[in-house]
């Protein structure tokens, strides 16, 4: 086979996200989640802590969370253009789906018809879950479309 054309001068990104990048992203997500869960437990166990310390513990997961987002952006940059499109469409689907579910729950709650599990609509954990579910469905559907 002839040499592949070098993409650097053309602005077309390479095709694949490496396993190392996936592991890196998942690693930062795991650290963020672990710090969030441990932080919640600590705050419940130590209500006597000063407000400053409580704020510090609460905000600790932000830093690995930022690294997680940066690693996602890094992965996005090395995708080829179709994969980028699939990801973008999936994120739009996730955002729209989450907004719709959240709006439905809020309207139901406002009229006294809310679900017992969600008395205050989707909380932050629910938003993450809904976004992840809609994103997964979005990736599946758009991959089918471009298969």
Partner 1 sequence: MKNKLRELRTAREWSQSDLGARLDVSRQTINAIETGKYDPSLPLAFKMARLFKQPIEEIFTPGG
Residue ranges that bind partner 1, judged by CB under 8 A? 1-2, 4-5, 7, 10-16, 80-83, 85, 143, 145-147
Based on CB atoms, which residue is closest to partner 1, 7 or 136?
7
Buried/exposed code over 128-139 (b: 16+ C-beta within 10 A; e: otherwise): eebbeebbeebb
Based on CB atoms, which residue is closest to partner 1, 13 or 57?
13
Based on CB atoms, which residue is closest to partner 1, 17 or 69?
17
Dihedrals phi, psi of 113, to nearest 5 degrees:
-110, 15
Query: How near is the Cβ of 96 to partner 1 at its closest, in Å?
Result: 22
Based on CB atoms, which residue is closest to partner 1, 82 or 115?
82
Query: How near is the Cβ of 21 to partner 1 at its closest, in Å?
Result: 16
Please state the separation of Cα 97 from the chain's center in Å: 14
CA dist 58 and 42 (Å) reads 10
Query: How near is the Cβ of 144 to partner 1 at its closest, in Å?
Result: 11
| Cα–Cα distance list, 100 to 8, 125, 130, 136 (Å) | 41, 16, 10, 17
């Amino acid at each position: 086979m002839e040499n592949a054309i070098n993409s650097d001068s053309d602005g077309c990104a390479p095709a694949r996200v490496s396993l190392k990048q996936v592991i890196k992203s998942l690693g930062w997500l795991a650290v963020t989640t672990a710090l969030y869960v441990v932080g919640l437990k600590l705050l419940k166990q130590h209500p006597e802590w000063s407000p400053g310390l409580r704020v510090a513990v609460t905000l600790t997961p932000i830093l690995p969370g930022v690294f997680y987002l940066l690693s996602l952006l890094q992965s996005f940059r090395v995708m080829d253009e179709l994969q980028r499109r699939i990801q973008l469409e999936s994120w739009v689907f996730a955002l729209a789906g989450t907004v719709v579910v959240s709006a439905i729950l809020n309207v139901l709650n406002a009229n006294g018809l809310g679900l017992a599990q969600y008395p205050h609509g989707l909380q932050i954990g629910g938003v993450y879950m809904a976004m992840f579910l809609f994103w997964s469905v979005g990736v599946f559907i758009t991959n089918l479309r471009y298969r």
